[in-house]
Amino acid sequence: MNKETIKIGILGMGTVGSGVSQILAQNGKDMEHKLGAALEVKRVAVRDLAKPRGLTLDPSLFTDNIDHVILDPEIDIVVETMGGIESARHAITKALENGKFVVTANKDLMAQHGMELLAIAKLQGKNIFYEASVGGGIPLVRPLKFCLAANRIHKIMGIINGTTNYILTQMSTAEKEFKDALAEAQAKGFAEADPSSDVEGRDASYKLNILASLSFSSRINMEDIYVEGITNVKLRDIRYAQELGYAVKLLAIGEEGEGGLKLRVHPTLIPHAHPLAAVKNEFNAIFLEGDAVGEVMFYGRGAGSLPTGSAVCADIMDAARAIKNQIQNGIVEATFVHKPVVPMEEQLSRFYLRLKAIDEPGVFAKLATAFGEARVSLDKIIQKRSVEQTAEIVLVTHDVAEGNFTHALDSLRAMPSIRSINSILRVVE
């Protein structure tokens, strides 16, 4: 029996929830026409019923009890846009067990408990749609799950956190130090009051987990991903990187090679000529390489009320189609196995290093020897300036195993002529 009206319950009416509500109000008729079924928001759960919302939704739909949504027998689709881990995990589990399809924007949850929740969905003959959890309005989950499914994906690399990209762009174009660029991002609404998840790289690592799982058909634990944020990136390094021909970006990188998966998030020097170097401010871009399709790049707004709402609404339509046609819509993730992961110390990287040394004859030779003994070969070694008998030196290495580079650093730290090691960044060509 075809359903004429699909009923939706929404958990959370903040930035994303209100974008969803606005799109449903604006484009609902077109969406219904495309679906061949009506969409009705039946109930909305929030924390604080007294908060002014400025929405067209009927106030009588609101409740502060999640159970009024997830246990309502008339609701077909539960849209989770409240965030957090435990209450969202509990709500989604209960919604699935009560026969609902689920749409979520929650990357933290999907990265850490996605496989377990998808297994419950499969058992229940339902599905969880999570396009909005990564890349905001940029389609990524569906292309990876379906459109590119015939490829072996070798590499996925991208800027998947708009806050840090905004900060790094401001540092490089307006010559600001990190804390000033962060304050500006907060004032303009591009960074949250507590920016730690963004600036420490965790948000990008959750998204990389989701993208890499789909790209490499693997279950991935958060511990499998090396994570380093941008809090130690200095304006000085951005300037030197520019002189060397690079932009500094927080990149999320996933690769599959013979030894297994390589998964990392870190600030990276990337050549100005690379398409990712041109991605500015709050924009995101994801670049991938498939064996059949070649190189593909996705670009757009990775967050925000309407862009994220756009992905959530498309998921609502997919769920509605599944309900209307009485299908589950394919949980491809159920077949994923846990592939081996290459430990970070065995991964190859090029490094940019800025240090201070006593300005005396032979210091370059001593540095070259210390690196040579650790089997690290140098691509560039440049003295930037000299103040009060202290020389500032910038080095760029060739590809080296992280473990060897760490040994070289240990030798450098033990050298009396090295005053300080000020910055270490990775370089991608």
Ligand X SMILES: NC(=O)c1ccc[n+]([C@@H]2O[C@H](COP(=O)([O-])OP(=O)(O)OC[C@H]3O[C@@H](n4cnc5c(N)ncnc54)[C@H](OP(=O)(O)O)[C@@H]3O)[C@@H](O)[C@H]2O)c1
Residue 15 interacts with ligand X (CB under 6 A): yes or no? yes
Instruction: Return the residue nearest ligand X (CB atom).
Output: 14
Among 23, 41, 46, 355, which residue interacts with ligand X (rule: CB under 6 A)? 46
Residue 48 interacts with ligand X (CB under 6 A): yes or no? yes
Tokens of 368: 């070259």
Tokens of 148: 């590119």
Largest interatomic CA distance in the chain:
86
Among 8, 70, 77, 106, which residue interacts with ligand X (rule: CB under 6 A)? 106
Measured from the CB atom, is 71 or 244 closer to ligand X? 71
Residue 207 appears among annotated catalytic residues? yes
Question: Which of left, alpha, beta for 80 (phi over 0: left; psi -120 to 50: alpha)?
Answer: beta
CA distance 35 to 66: 28
Residue 14 interacts with ligand X (CB under 6 A): yes or no? yes
Measured from the CB atom, is 250 or 400 closer to ligand X? 250
Closest among 292, 412, 329, 353 to 142, alpha carbons compared: 329
DSSP result, 260-319: EEEEEEEEEEEETTSGGGG--TTEEEEEEEETTTEEEEEEEE-SSHHHHHHHHHHHHHHH
Tokens of 240: 């030197």
Residue 107 interacts with ligand X (CB under 6 A): yes or no? yes
Among 31, 238, 303, 376, which residue interacts with ligand X (rule: CB under 6 A)? 303
Closest among 15, 2, 264, 223 to 111, alpha carbons compared: 223
Residue 309 interacts with ligand X (CB under 6 A): yes or no? no
Are residues 340 and 378 in contact, defined by beta-carbon separation less than 8 angstroms?
no
Q: With CB under 6 A as the contact rule, which of the stretches 14-22, 243-251, 334-342, 345-353 interacts with ligand X?
A: 14-22
CA distance 197 to 112: 15
In angstroms, give the least distance from the CB of 354 to ligand X.
34
Catalytic residue, chosen from 7, 42, 207, 262, is 207
Residue 12 interacts with ligand X (CB under 6 A): yes or no? yes
Among 136, 143, 254, 309, which residue interacts with ligand X (rule: CB under 6 A)? 136
In angstroms, give the least distance from the CB of 385 to ligand X.
42
In angstroms, give the least distance from the CB of 51 to ligand X.
5
Question: Which of left, alpha, beta for 136 (phi over 0: left; psi -120 to 50: alpha)?
Answer: left
Measured from the CB atom, is 16 or 238 closer to ligand X? 16
Residues 76-105 that bind ligand X (CB under 6 A): 81-84, 87, 105
Residue whose structure tokens are 């959530």: 312
Measured from the CB atom, is 105 or 191 closer to ligand X? 105
Q: What is the distance between the terminal CA atoms of the chain, rounded to a whole angstrom? A: 56
Number of residues that bind ligand X (CB under 6 A): 26
Measured from the CB atom, is 16 or 157 closer to ligand X? 16
CA distance 59 to 43: 10
Measured from the CB atom, is 13 or 75 closer to ligand X? 13
- Please report, as ranges, the residues that interact with ligand X according to CB under 6 A: 11-17, 45-48, 51, 66, 81-84, 87, 105-107, 132, 136, 303-304, 308
Known catalytic residues are 207
